[in-house]
Amino acid sequence: MTNTSVDVTGRKRILVTGGAGEMAKYACKALAAADEVELLVVSDRDEERAQKLVVDLGSKAQALALDISDEAALSDALSDIDIVLNCAGPFYRFGRQVLNAAIASGTHYLDICDDWEPTLDMLELDDAARAAGITAVIGMGSSPGTSNLLAMLCMNELDTVDRVFTAWRIGGIKPPPPGEEDKPNAARDHWIHNCTEPIKVRQGGVLVDSYALEEIKLAYPGVGEDSVWVCGHPEPLTLPEVRPEIQESYNVMVARRGLMEAMQGLAVKVRSGELDVPGAGRAIAHTPNINGPAAGPAPIHGYLFAVAEGVADGKGKRVGASPVILPNANMGEFTGYPLAVATLMLCRGQVGNPGVHGPEGAVDPEIYFEELATFVDDRPEGVAPVEVVAEAI
């Protein structure tokens, strides 16, 4: 029996897959403290880890041992749940699977998927989600997630959009502690995968095959032009879903040149088969002159922003958006808090479009950034959470 008649508003029963992980635990913390939540189920393959987190979350939270590769167990876990947050990677294995289970049970769905391949797979389930009356928001973290909504603020200033960029800065690769030089690093290897494997970008109004690490020039209004490097990410795939006229769309990295040139050299070796992705991860950890001034001048662009170019009132215009107020946080908080904000907006009926969407297709950016700013201690009064600037082109 499904729960497709679930009302969007009201106190909700929420299940988080991979709930005790580094990203998910911050979303769990925020949701456990929210009036909109009746029950928070922290599910994880490691029940002991989930139990430890639940102790800190209070009476609304309960732990559940769950292996999401077990389809019957997943279906049973969702049978009395209003919203599932999927934080269990890798998403190329589990994104479509968990979304399919959510559709079958009539459960609303959000995730933090940052891979382009499963993003396309999950967008294919749009008709099924609409038929089930559920809302699915994919890629609701920092980038993708916050980045998409910055892009939406830019695009809202334009009558037509020609080009759109989402951008994030990578500061460098932290040297591993002594004795751990060859220890696996999932986050580093995931980044290298995105930089070395084939990707999709938007060119000429369609998705085309490409490779990451192409150097391009990007101008930000009032700041100037600097080099950025293409990355494989979901934003270029989902943004044209809301603005089909987009001709070019890229997700790009802002970095010092030395780091990007080192990555370009390793990418050649990965693509030729000389190195695999974990091997490239170990190699980059041993590469000199990739951090700080040794890697070249600091980039002029910020840490997280978007740029859109197009036409407004018959004139060419470039629009940039960057956060002024964000949680002063680690990557877990930058990812988990955005997920929690969008979830609470769904609970309040502020997100309710049936179907499968990128963040820009379901989440109001004005409301989102105001809500995200509430996670900032000592927020300055009278300061807007996002700065939107423009210039003629």
Question: For position 3, what pLDDT does the model report?
Answer: 39
| Distance, CA of 377 to CA of 143 (rounded, Å) | 22
Of the options 3.30.360.10, 3.10.20.30, 3.40.50.300, 1.20.200.10, the CATH number for the domain spanning 146-323: 3.30.360.10
- Let me know if the fold of 12-141+329-375 is the same as that of 146-323: no
Compute, in degrees rounded to 10, the torsion defined by CA atoms 180, 230, 291, 197.
Answer: 20
Question: For position 380, what pLDDT does the model report?
Answer: 78
**Top-level CATH class of 12-141+329-375?**
alpha beta
Task: Map out the domains of the chain as residue ranges.
Answer: 12-141+329-375, 146-323
| Distance, CA of 17 to CA of 137 (rounded, Å) | 15
Of 162, 148, 147, 169, the C-alpha closest to 202 is: 162
Question: What are the phi and psi torsion angles at 392 (to 5°)?
Answer: -75, 145
Question: For position 90, what pLDDT does the model report?
Answer: 87
| Pair 307, 220: CB distance under 8 Å | yes
Question: For position 379, what pLDDT does the model report?
Answer: 80
Question: For position 190, what pLDDT does the model report?
Answer: 86
Q: What is the mean pLDDT of each run of 10 residues along the chain (393 residues)?
A: 44 95 94 96 94 94 95 96 94 94 98 95 97 97 96 98 97 77 79 91 96 96 97 96 97 97 96 94 91 95 97 98 82 90 96 94 96 85 92 97
